[in-house]
Amino acid sequence: MGRLFGFDAQLLMDTVVMVITMFILFFAMSYLLFEPVRSFMEKRAEKIRNDIEEATKQKNDAASLKNQYEEKLRNIEKEADVILSQARKKALSREDEIIQGANEEAKRIIERANLEISREKEKVKEDIKTEMIEIAAILAEKFISASINESEQNKLIEETLNEMGDKTWLN
């Protein structure tokens, strides 16, 4: 044994058995450990890809929604102006209707007042006629009762007028 490294049949056999055992062990380990880890890693990679795609899709959707909302915000002022102008038009038309109704009511009130005035005038005319008839009857009675001359007649007329008073003629 003078050599450091002795190549004999036993060493060669041990080496071959060890290499075969290592290959068997490698294949068994790859089947039992590497394959599940590899499938787990592939599933994980697929899930990450799907998550990234979903996030990208959601980001794009969010961007489009943001653009839509910004467009709506820009249009909201226009819509508000349209709504306000419509409300103003309605208010003006309502105002015109109210004014027209008030004018018609005022006309009806004036017509009723004019009708009442004309009735009152007729009533006053009738009252004046009645009073004139009464005055004439009183004068005639006084003329008949006292056959008097012209100065006495004037005096009687004045007395009668004084009896009736100014109030009668003012009414």
Element (H, E) at 126: helix 35-145
The percent of residues above 90 in pLDDT, for the chain, comes to 47
Whole-angstrom distance, CA of residue 35 vs CA of residue 28:
10
Whole-angstrom distance, CA of residue 69 vs CA of residue 153:
107
Model pLDDT, residue 143: 67
Q: How many CB atoms lie within 10 A of CB 109?
A: 10
Report the range of poorest mean pLDDT among 20-34, 49-63, 156-170: 156-170
> What is the token pair recorded at 38?
């590899």
Model pLDDT, residue 157: 75
Q: How confident is the model at residue 3 (pLDDT cuts 50, 70, 90)?
A: low
The pTM of this model reads 0.37
Q: Pick from 29-38, 76-85, 157-166 the range whose average pLDDT is largest.
A: 76-85
Model pLDDT, residue 23: 94
State the average pLDDT over residues 40-65: 95
Q: Is the pLDDT confidence value at 50 over 90?
A: yes
CB 160 within 8 A of CB 135: yes
Cα–Cα distances in angstroms (integers) from residue 140 to residues 45, 61, 134, 137, 147, in the given order: 137, 114, 10, 5, 11
Domain ranges of the chain: 10-170
State the average pLDDT over residues 99-126: 93
**Residue in 127, 126, 163 with CA at minimum distance from that of residue 142:** 163
pLDDT in tens, 75-111: 888 888 889 999 999 999 999 999 999 999 999 999 9
Q: How many CB atoms lie within 10 A of CB 60?
A: 10
Q: Is the pLDDT confidence value at 41 over 80?
A: yes
Q: Is the pLDDT confidence value at 137 over 90?
A: no
